[in-house]
Structure formats: structure tokens, C-alpha cells
Chains A and B, each alone.
Chain A
């Protein structure tokens, strides 16, 4: 079943249909970094008709985690008696003066984990240490992250806490569409965020800004079908949220996962790296779980940050510039030596362009 969504001929067919119905230029944003990655990997942006421009959105959690939180992570990881755990990509994200990898190289106990539950197991096995998990992500990883806190509370594991950097897509869409510089005319809504949250939240946004959206999956055929659906609406002037990923997403989303999230998290303002503060665009732990909040536990409130002067990741994340327009792209900034967060994770636009771009932009 899965193979067919990678079938070259079917992808070609859907591309032909997009070509057939496109009559003028349209700018469509894929909000999710996973989709940016897949688009570059399969070279879809080069196979689309010239009129269709894909603008890459800010949906890379590694990229938008605020500098302040990265610096807090570094401060906590540098403390005695702490085992700091994180998804692998976060280790190379530049903080104001160093990254987590440097803390590890300097003798700090920084460990890469695949899930928050794994971090909780480390806490169980090391009762004399404080184990901290860097809980980053969009709605997709929220249930995975927060269930570790629920379990820690239920099992009475007191030496576990989470540095929370949860962000949410709908407020970011408002920020993009409400900006005077906005060029986005249609959205590919991220399939897996919608798998968790459903897509009811998007319907009023689509109407408010008159911007059609298609819920879109991650295989090449899913992407072309999402683009096709969006172009159909743009060409006909219809404004709706359509589901082009019905095998993975329902309108209501996963109600159990939503309950797990809302039991523990509540909305809060969040700073997005390179973009700035977006009101009510994140989640933080509710008061009932404050004992598991690493920011409170380690008192790392006063952090002075300093952002790189070269990096234009902010403009890239807002869809205003493409990675190859950055003077540092490719040299000196590379995935081996990232100057900005968008070059670290393969979901970041800079890294996706670096890894897969077939066009020579030098």
C-alpha cells in the first residue's frame, strides 16, 4: 500500500494534472519541515509547473526553539549531577556561545534519546542524578513528550523534569498570514500535526484570510495530491480546508492524544527563534505538574542571549528568503559547521537545500 504512494508513474500523473489546471502564478506554503525535506529529497519543486512556487514554512521544531531555551539547556546540562537528554538534532544547534555538543565534549553528561520515555527510564536507573529532557516539538510530539511527565508523576519519580519548548501551528499561520509582507496564497497543512489535532482549527483561519488549505501527507504522491487540491481551489476561487491525506487524518484528529496534551499542558506565549514572540503559540506544563518543569527546578531565568549577526534564518522561516540567498550558505555554513539552526536539522530549510538542491546557486 505504502509503495504506491511513491510510485513514479502516479506522481507523474498527478503532476500532469497540476500542469493541466494551472493558469497563473500561485505561492503555496508547506508549513512543515518534514515536508520541506521530502519535497527537496524527491526534487518535486523542480517538477512542478513554473507558476507554482513553494514557500517553506517555519515548521521545524529544532529551528524555532528559542535561543533563550537553547542557552537554558546548555546552562542546565553544564550543572553537576545532571544527565541532560535530548533528541539528537538539538545537540548541534548553536546557542549564544556554544552548543550542547560542546558541553558533552567538555565532560557533561548529555545523552541522545529517541523518546521522552527513554529519558524517564534513565531517571529510574539513576535515582541519585537529576535527569532533564529537552521537550521540543510541534503538536505531533506533544503527546509523546508529555506522557513521560504523567508517568513520572504517577510513579513518583522525582528526579525527572522537562525543559519545555512546545510550539503550535495555528498561531504561526496567523502570524504569517497577518504580516504585511505575506505572499502565501494557499497552505499545505501538515498531515501529522492534523493527525493529532484534526483540522477544525484551520477552518476559521482559512476563511479569515481567504486562503485555501489542503491537509497533506509526506510521501511524494501525498505531496503532489495536496498541491493539486490547493491549486484546484486557488484556480476556482474556493476557500476550504480539504483533506488530501484521508488515510492518516480525520477532521477531529486523535481525541485520546488531545486529552493527554490538554490534561498536562496549557497555552502560553512563545518566542520563535528568528521570528519573535507569537502570542499563545506554545504550551507549558500546568501548575499541577510544576515539580517537573526544569525551568523552575533549575532557576535558569536570567539568561543573556546573543544571536549570530550573519544568519538570516528568521527571514527564511517566514518564507521571505530562500536559503541560497544567505551569503553564508554552503560556505562557511554547512551541516557539519552550522551557523544557524535551519542548517542543523534535515527538516530545516537550509539543510534540506544543502543536502538535496540540484541547482547550483553559486
Chain B
């Protein structure tokens, strides 16, 4: 229940003035409330808890995290590790 999982937004619509979306979790499609993530667009990944999106995953931040780690690797290789 608390295992919030990221899913990809494949549809956005309004239901009784609430911003909703269809989100694809590895092949399983669920309706999700997008009220708290107004910035989220089609194709974005959102973290969903109990049918409610709490955050949009930032691809640029993800890339930065991975880049830092890759630098760490080259640094170690330079040291002949």
C-alpha cells in the first residue's frame, strides 16, 4: 500500500472538476488523481500512492545523479582501482 511506485502518464482528463489521468505501471493501467501535480504532462513519470500522484520524477535530476556516480567510477579508474 505504501510502496509508492512510479508510473507513466498515458492520458489526462477531467472528472467532476478533478484533474485525473491514466497511468501505466509496467503494463497495468490505473486511474490516478493528478490534482497535486499540475506540472505533470503526458509521458512524464509520477510517483503514485493509493491512486494519488504525489510527485513528478525529474529526468534531469535523475541524469545528474547518474552522472555523479559515473564520474566517481572514472575517478577510481584513474587511481588504477
Contacts and interface: CB of A to CB of B under 8 A. Distances in A.
A181 interface: no
Contacts of A144: 33, 49-52
Task: Label chain A's interface by main secondary structure.
Answer: helix
Interface in A143-199: 143-145, 147, 151, 155, 192, 195-196
Contacts of B57: 1, 247-248
A141 B3 CA distance: 10
A1 B62 contact: yes
Contacts of B6: 2
A140 B54 contact: yes
B55 A37 contact: no
A81 interface: no
Interface string B21-57: 0000000001001011110000001010111101101
A61 B2 contact: yes
Contacts of A62: 1
A247 B52 contact: no
Given A196-B54, A257-B36, A247 B4 contact: no
A32 interface: yes
A246 B52 contact: no
Contacts of A118: 51
Nearest to A135: B50
A143 B52 contact: yes
B50 A115 contact: yes
A256 B2 contact: no
A249 B6 CA distance: 13
B10 interface: no
Interface string A23-55: 000000000111001000000000000000000
A5 B47 CA distance: 15
A347 B3 contact: yes
A345 B30 CA distance: 22
Nearest to A59: B2
A61 B72 CA distance: 37
B50 A145 contact: yes
A17 interface: yes
B66 A4 contact: yes
Contact of B55 (A10, A137, A138, A248): A248
Given A117-B51, A137-B50, A246-B61, A260 B36 contact: yes
B4 A249 contact: no
Contacts of B78: none
A192 B59 contact: no
A14 interface: yes
Interface string A242-265: 000011110000101100100000
A60 B69 CA distance: 31
B11 interface: no
Contacts of B54: 140, 143, 192, 195-196, 254, 257
Interface of A: 1-2, 4-5, 10, 13-14, 16-17, 32-34, 37, 59-62, 87-89, 114-118, 136-138, 140-141, 143-145, 147, 151, 155, 192, 195-196, 218, 221, 225, 246-249, 254, 256-257, 260, 345-347
7 contacts: A33-B2, A59-B2, A137-B49, A247-B59, A247-B61, A254-B36, A345-B1
